[in-house]
Structure 1
């Protein structure tokens, strides 16, 4: 039996993971902005489920909630940064409020949860962190410039964090799923459109997102969550966990193109060094 701390458990991957873990006998510290959304699971699983109200953009409350979870549950094996937000729009369509919410939720919130959890994990002799990122942490799609900025940022953070904490037996995995039929598409926060983008790829993507049922997304949310849970049994932890054929194909294409471009610039790169 493991004990898990999970953010953003009202819907999507967070809700699915919480229920699966409880059904198999694990304990879950579930955090979300509206705790009443887990009342049905509270009734079914009793004290196996610890629930706290948390908006990860509230930095003061965040540390209190993480500390309380470790204090009351004594030992937490896995911390899952799942809370997320996505804003859609071209750069000059996006409001400052959307920009700040995007970065505060997906980047600052995850960093602060991690910062609050690491001292506890260190004291207890180790643990695992799952950071729910996205294939969008390796590639970029039109109209989601701000969302991709948040995912590329959190991936850079964990690239550096992992070696920083490995000597304390703390491991971490960046989870990179493709798009899935959770609540993600329907919950995207659309910027106020500018007419100048109507006939561009941004306008095209905006119209497509307006009909999410037309999206054929092959990734199974249930299978994706099963893979996330199973990854905790693997040690050393995989640094990245790609989920879905769409994620694999798009990331493979993007990484291959970037590597080919780098190779083309090898001579230029080396010539920029001091002469021997």
Structure 2
């Protein structure tokens, strides 16, 4: 199998770094991006010319296109884009400021859009490529205190669902990666938090209690799944990571279907 060239955003830590290292360990090449290029130094030291480090803030559309152009000039192609850069914002809907809401969408939605738009011309010319967009279990269901984060991930889900239909004829594959809770910095050091309104303390306490016993996944264990996904001839549009998501989602979707069916007589009157 020919070695692949990966472009991964958000490779300074967490999933991005783990997946970059997994690709490099098997002999692939990686364009590794992060806002702070110093955070990529250890990858360069260990893997040398197989890594192209690029400083990138995905909020900047021109910078996204420039990064893809630099990658193409350096390695000649991009086989896999993993659009991983993003963050979680915690806060009940009433607590979220305009600045916080816009920042969440700027990175999680627009940053993903810019990267996808940037790689598409090359992948269309190649007549192949695989766009992997990191979403979340929070892209298919919701929990209180994460409304603006959910909104951003549901937006990305719709974006990539349409994208998959648009680019299939060019040989381009699209997969939404939907992890459950993992022991990364997503919910701690990398997270943002709105100023609290005391009235919602009970909602937050109930949520904390509900999830206090749920085991977190080991992020290192996701590497083999991503490599399997990259090598699949017919990858899925959506892939859960972890044992938890399917058990959470099945009753959610069952309830939606039951409600739609129960209210179908009302819906039909509106035809």
Q: Select between 88-97 and 161-170 the one with higher mean Cα deviation.
A: 88-97
For residue 224 of structure 1, the aligned residue among 222, 225, 242 is 222
Structure-2 residue corresponding to 1:248: 246
1:95 corresponds to 2:93: no
For residue 174 of structure 1, the aligned residue among 176, 179, 190 is 176
Structure-2 residue corresponding to 1:42: 44
Cα distance in structure 2, aligned partners of 1:218 and 1:196: 29
Cα distance in structure 1, aligned partners of 2:99 and 2:252: 30
- The equivalences for 1:113-124 within 5 A come to 113-124=115-126
Give the conservation status (yes or no) of the 8 Å contact 1:87–1:190. Answer: yes
> Once the two structures are superposed, what CA deviation does each residue of 1:75-94 show, in whole Å capped at 9, x if it has no partner?
11100000011111112211
- What RMSD, in angstroms, separates the aligned Cα atoms of the two structures? 1.7
Alignment length, in residue pairs?
Answer: 268
Aligned pair in 2 of structure 1 residues 208, 50: CA closer, same or farther (>3 Å)? Answer: farther
Give the conservation status (yes or no) of the 8 Å contact 1:181–1:217. Answer: no
Show structure 2 runs of 5+ residues with no match: none
Give the conservation status (yes or no) of the 8 Å contact 1:80–1:132. Answer: yes
> Secondary structure of the equivalent of 1:9?
coil
Give the conservation status (yes or no) of the 8 Å contact 2:101–2:148. Answer: yes
Cα distance in structure 1, aligned partners of 2:186 and 2:99: 20
For residue 193 of structure 1, the aligned residue among 193, 196, 204 is 196
> Secondary structure of the equivalent of 1:92?
helix
Structure-1 residue corresponding to 2:71: 69
> Once the two structures are superposed, what CA deviation does each residue of 1:59-118 show, in whole Å capped at 9, x if it has no partner?
221111112112221011100000011111112211222111110111111011001110
Give the conservation status (yes or no) of the 8 Å contact 1:89–1:144. Answer: yes
Cα distance in structure 2, aligned partners of 1:203 and 1:104: 29
Cα distance in structure 2, aligned partners of 1:8 and 1:218: 21
CA drift at 1:216: 4.5
Give the conservation status (yes or no) of the 8 Å contact 1:176–1:242. Answer: yes
TM-score, normalization: structure 1?
A: 0.92
Q: Select between 5-14 and 95-104 the one with higher mean Cα deviation.
A: 95-104
For residue 134 of structure 1, the aligned residue among 114, 133, 136 is 136
1:267 corresponds to 2:258: no
> Secondary structure of the equivalent of 1:242?
strand
Give the conservation status (yes or no) of the 8 Å contact 1:138–1:254. Answer: no
